[in-house]
Amino acid sequence: MTAPPPQAPEPGLAAIPERVATVRSRIAAAAERAGRDPAEVTLVAVSKLHPSAAVRAAYGAGVADFGENYAQDLAAKAALLPEAHWHFVGRLQRNKAAVLIAVAALVHSLDSLPGAEALARRAMRAGTVARALVQVELERRAAAHGVPAADLEDFVAACRRVEGLELRGLMVMPAPVADPEEARPLFRRAVALSRRLDPGMRALSMGMTADYEVAVEEGSTLVRVGTAIFGPRMGSPMGSRMGSRPKKEGK
């Protein structure tokens, strides 16, 4: 009897540890250029539309934080790897609040008071608090999500009155740019907004594959990096920023 041949890792998976190392060293270099401590920056590996084997490969390479856009996928992957920290970075739907409270350490995309109330209500019921970032919209775009910058102060004040909700900071997601330098002015505006908030609310989720180094130079504390770690997303031939998905998640 011959032993089965050693299983070759799937080609996509084999590249993940090296990609993680590259992203980490670029984060560190960007932080150092800005006189920041690289330890201030958390790498959130956005694993949406990638299989859980890819998540495991990144976890094995030292990534402790993962982000997902769809509540169901978040729950499924978090169940397989509960020792990681799971972040929700997709559109917030109120009917998914219970799932998010059960598995997400941080919701990056809070952009409505009903959403805040739904999260808080579920959190209270579970004997915990909902930790969230306010997604701020700094550009005028047709398909924009997020609280307009002009309304941020009022929104934060309203959220303060919601028991069971703990705001940690802001999230921004610029429209795709050809040159990461184009995102810099917007990141600076996010930092300026962030500095006006309480010290407990200074987390800043900004920077994706195309622009995370610029984001770190400007003050990001959470970068959401997908493609640079996992490669192109399946079901996303256009390289959509939101990660288009063949089947729609129920409303």
Q: What part of residues 101-160 is at the interface with ligand PLP (CB under 6 A)?
A: none
190 binds ligand PLP (CB under 6 A): no
* Min separation Cβ 4 and ligand PLP, Å: 35
* Nearer to ligand PLP among residue 180 and residue 243 (C-beta): 243
For the chain, give the secondary structure using H, E and C.
CCCCCCCCCCHHHHCHHHHHHHHHHHHHHHHHHCCCCHHHCEEEEECCCCCHHHHHHHHHCCCCEEEECCHHHHHHHHHHCCCCEEEECCCCCHHHHHHHHHHCCEEEEECCHHHHHHHHHHHHHCCCCEEEEEEEECCCCCCCCCEEHHHHHHHHHHHHCCCCEEEEEEECCCCCCCCHHHHHHHHHHHHHHHHCCCHHHCEEECCCCCCHHHHHHHCCCEEEECHHHHCCCCCCCCCCCCCCCCCCCCC
Give the range of 25-33, 76-84, 162-170, 204-212 binding ligand PLP by CB under 6 A.
204-212
225 binds ligand PLP (CB under 6 A): yes
Q: Which of 20, 208, 215, 216 binds ligand PLP (CB under 6 A)?
A: 208
Q: Which residue reads 């959401």 in tokens?
A: 224
Paired tokens of 42: 């958390």
* Min separation Cβ 1 and ligand PLP, Å: 45
Q: Which of 46, 58, 75, 167 binds ligand PLP (CB under 6 A)?
A: 46
77 binds ligand PLP (CB under 6 A): no
69 binds ligand PLP (CB under 6 A): yes
169-189: string of b/e by CB count within 10 Å (b at 16+)?
bbbbbbeeeeebeebbebbeb
89 binds ligand PLP (CB under 6 A): yes
Choose among 110, 102, 160: nearest CA to 127. Answer: 102
Q: Which of 98, 227, 231, 245 binds ligand PLP (CB under 6 A)?
A: 227
* Min separation Cβ 46 and ligand PLP, Å: 4
* Nearer to ligand PLP among residue 164 and residue 243 (C-beta): 243
How many chain residues are in contact with ligand PLP, going by CB under 6 A? 14
* Nearer to ligand PLP among residue 52 and residue 227 (C-beta): 227
Give the range of 3-11, 55-63, 137-145, 221-229 binding ligand PLP by CB under 6 A.
221-229
Interface map 159-178 toward ligand PLP (x if CB under 6 A):
--------------x-----
Point out which residues bind ligand PLP (CB under 6 A). 46, 48, 69, 89, 173, 208-210, 224-227, 242-243
